[in-house]
Chains A and B, each alone.
Chain A
Amino acid sequence: MSLEKIQEQIREAAGRGAALCIRGGGSKDFYGNAPRGERLDTREHAGIVSYEPTELVVTARCGTLLSDLEKTLSEKGQFLSFEPPGFGAGATLGGCVAAGLSGPRRANAGSVRDAMLGAKILDGRGQLLAFGGQVMKNVAGYDVSRLLAGSLGTLGVIVEASLKLLPRPPEELTLKFELPQAKALANLNRWAGQPLPISASAWRDGELSLRLSGARSAVRAAAEKLGGESATQEEAARFWAGVREQSDPFFVGDTPLWRLSLPSQAPALELSGEQLLEWGGALRWLRAGSNAANAAAVRAAASKAGGHATLFRAAEKPQGAFAPLSPVLARLHRELKRSFDPAGILNPGRLYPEF
């Protein structure tokens, strides 16, 4: 029912060339460039289509609340291993895939894109298209479902997604270490090269938190080897939720928030502003201004280190949310956009101003 409604709305808008702003719970309105256009609400198209725990796969509609989905999975001892941040109670699966954001476990368990097995979309013509499927291995056709992760709705309205799941690890333990940033980075990279059951890491303000997950024996052996001070279960749960949902004090306040995605071994950045590190050093959050000079400095530092910088949260994003693309990549983006959405009506400008 609601699928037809969405389809109708797309067709109608395409006919008029009117921009549509695809929106679920609106928990990620802040992300990317400012949303514009008439609202296309995905929330009615909700519900789990199929869930077979022994297949390690779930298929659900875009409007399904992330919280509902996670609850269903956890009843069977499984979870979305990329720990997507909701950034609000209304977060939907469609928004999670479109934003392509992964949480603390990403460096060890993979990203949204890694877990994508299949998707159904309504493209900019209102055509219903199905890519991938519900099986782990599938190389028939280009991997469009993974391309959708992080596309911010610019290629199609993601109406259904199939994701790979993992069993919840039986044991989890968080260790804390007092360390300066450079030392934390060195340790994280060294540990990552050893067979240790690390499932998350975060450094801020001289303290490194390291989460171990897995079989009880593996977690205990690793804890013994690594030392540090163990956090209580409650402390740990609160801390990781704070990092994942950005409710941790580091993320509070109006100073713009930059997200730098770098090779994990990149040295500590010499940028002014407070930092929080995740993903074994591969993700660095920075609180720093977003004016032209700052933006240029942050983007230059990120690109020099072999990565890129996103202006994640800021009142205004005049320099664009995302790092600019090379001319060849920009051309490929435009061509892809045009083939999925010839009228350019789906979330225009959300990813890059020019499309």
Chain B
Amino acid sequence: MGNALPQVDFVLQRKISEKLREFLPERCVLWQQEDTQPYECDGLTAYRRVPMVVALPETEAQVRRILQTCHALGVPVVPRGAGTGLSGGALPPGDGVLLSLAKFMRVLRIDPVARVAVVQPGVRNAAISDVVAPFGLYYAPDPSSQIACSIGGNVAENSGGVHCLKYGLTVHNVLRVRGYTIEGEPVDFGSEALDSAGYDLLALAIGSEGLLAVTTEVTVKLLPKPESARVIMASFDDVEKAGDAVAAVIAAGIVPAGLEMMDKPATHAVEQFVRAGYDLEAAALLLCESDGSTAEVEDEIARMKDVLTAAGATRLAVSRDEAERLRFWSGRKAAFPAVGRISPDYYCMDGTIPKKRLGEVLKFIGAMEKKYGLRCPNVFHAGDGNLHPLILFDANDADQLKRTEAFAAEVLEKCVQVGGTITGEHGVGVEKIDQMCIQFGAAELETFHAIKRAFDPKGLLNPGKAVPALSRCAEFGRNHVKATGQLGHAGLPRF
């Protein structure tokens, strides 16, 4: 793994390309390195591998034949959407086909009465809301990467967004996924009804990181756009107080449309980048949104203001109009790129914790900053306990890199220890595959492998991702013990 020079099996490469060229036009098959290089990584640039062959099909029939061909040849296939994934899920196979769905860009059907849209997997998340806007509808999940990421990728990762506390994740907003198994059989998971006969394979397919089937069509649920939305920006002089304020809002019986937190280092990084108007004095900022009918929003904003004030907010600002609301959010949504500006590299974590343990976990992260001598601003989907600590480092400094790895590993382990999880929305991919050994025991992992085998007995679809081999966990366990509580990111080469 890593940036090692590709050792290409030219014979196999030629064989695959020729087979694919039997039914794909020249523009749909890439194999020369200058053409395939752009596909060497996804949003987790630490892991790179130049794909042996890239296939860019334009029709479902072509997808089917690609899969049949690869299955017959016994060659691995890795699906890819927009390549914004943050866990290396779309890291290409060095000995197989990277299957890009980038050309599946069409919105196939919009039914404003049924409130559904049928789209191809390469359609961008934000584009769905754009095309249905004239009907007063939108697609609710809104990952910060929404202008770039594809709905196929969202389905594979079960992506969330800043509004998922109230409106749910991808799994709550997708009605049907059509795809192909590795053997090239068409399958429909779910339907336009609210449930289907038999097991809920739709739930299994969503979040399966491209390991069970290749998605070629997605039916999404559309929601009516709320009449009104306003956001409160609340300042706190202490991060733990901000955490307690989050609990207080929920305890008051309110489910805000969005409830996000940023600590001071994060707001400072962001403010330089987008000028969102954030309070730079605050130790922590909360963004707390209400949406609904105009009267309802007024009521809820008033109630939330009371709760936040009682919880010790030092300053409150309520968005006065849509432009200001979007400005308040712009900072949060640009947090990752903003942090990218103040540091040569950053490493984004994605643990989820029970909200009541927030104070403890933030203190722990503070201690890790000192221990490893690295800064770590925090952005946090506070309402649902999903943390994104961002470790700042310089990848050219080998020692910083090592410290970053150890830092991240300790934080993820802490998340598991307090009853949370190693990944809330970015997926396991190749990145957190060792931490899966901490999250799950051998019996659960074996169950995951059995599920995989039910769909893909030969293990050809996105192999080596998401679920570690038991032997890998055994080895990881040995190293883990040796390092006295520190996780070595086995095989993590460079960020």
Contact = CB atoms under 8 A, between A and B. Distances in A.
B453 A143 contact: no
Interface string B150-193: 00000001101000110011011000000001000111100111
A218 B444 contact: no
A137 B200 contact: no
Contacts of B136: 193-194
B255 A310 contact: no
Given A167-B255, A170-B253, A336 B454 contact: yes
B197 A147 contact: no
A123 B192 CA distance: 31
Contacts of A139: 157-158, 207, 421, 423-428
Contacts of A218: 292-293, 295-296
B311 interface: no
A113 B200 contact: yes
B277 interface: no
A147 B253 CA distance: 29
A136 B225 CA distance: 24
A279 interface: yes
A324 B196 CA distance: 11
B194 A143 contact: no
Interface in A207-266: 214-218, 220-222, 261-265
B195 A111 contact: yes
A150 interface: yes
Given A195-B293, A222-B293, A142 B201 contact: no
B247 A54 contact: yes
Interface stretch (B93-101, B378-386, B487-495): B378-386
B420 A135 contact: yes
B216 to A, nearest CB: 14
A226 B197 CA distance: 35
Nearest to B352: A135
Given A142-B207, A336-B199, A166 B255 contact: yes
Nearest to B206: A143
Contacts of B133: none
Given A127-B443, A136-B384, A310-B197, A221 B295 contact: yes
A137 B352 contact: yes
B63 to A, nearest CB: 16
Contacts of A291: none
A12 interface: no
Contacts of A73: none
A195 B227 CA distance: 7
Contacts of A282: 193-194
Contact of A332 (B251, B353, B356, B454): B454
A335 B453 contact: yes
Given A215-B296, A218-B295, A308 B193 contact: yes
A144 B195 contact: no
A149 B158 CA distance: 18
Contacts of A140: 421-423, 428, 432, 436, 439-440
Nearest to A327: B185
A183 interface: no
Interface in A327-353: 328-329, 332-333, 335-336, 338-340, 351-352
A142 B383 CA distance: 23
A218 B248 CA distance: 23
Contact of A193 (B135, B191, B299, B422): B135
B177 to A, nearest CB: 13
Contact of B385 (A137, A147, A197, A220): A137
Interface in A83-111: 100, 106-107, 110-111
Interface in A106-153: 106-107, 110-111, 113-114, 123, 127-131, 133-144, 146-147, 149-151
Central interface residue in B157, B164, B423, by most chain A CB within 10 Å = B423
Interface string B63-106: 00000000000000000000000000000000000000000000
Given A134-B354, A147-B200, A167 B384 contact: no
Given A55-B354, A142-B448, A263 B192 contact: yes
Contact of B114 (A141, A264, A328): A264
A138 B352 contact: yes
Interface of B: 111-116, 135-137, 157-158, 160, 164-165, 168-169, 171-172, 181, 185-188, 191-201, 203-204, 206-208, 212, 224-227, 247-248, 250-251, 253-255, 292-293, 295-296, 298-300, 352-356, 381, 383-386, 419-428, 432, 436, 439-441, 443-444, 447-448, 450-451, 453-455, 466-467
7 contacts: A189-B113, A193-B224, A220-B295, A221-B293, A263-B116, A325-B197, A340-B450
Given A155-B199, A338-B454, 13 more contacts: A57-B354, A135-B419, A142-B207, A142-B212, A142-B448, A167-B253, A215-B292, A216-B299, A217-B295, A279-B194, A283-B194, A329-B188, A339-B447
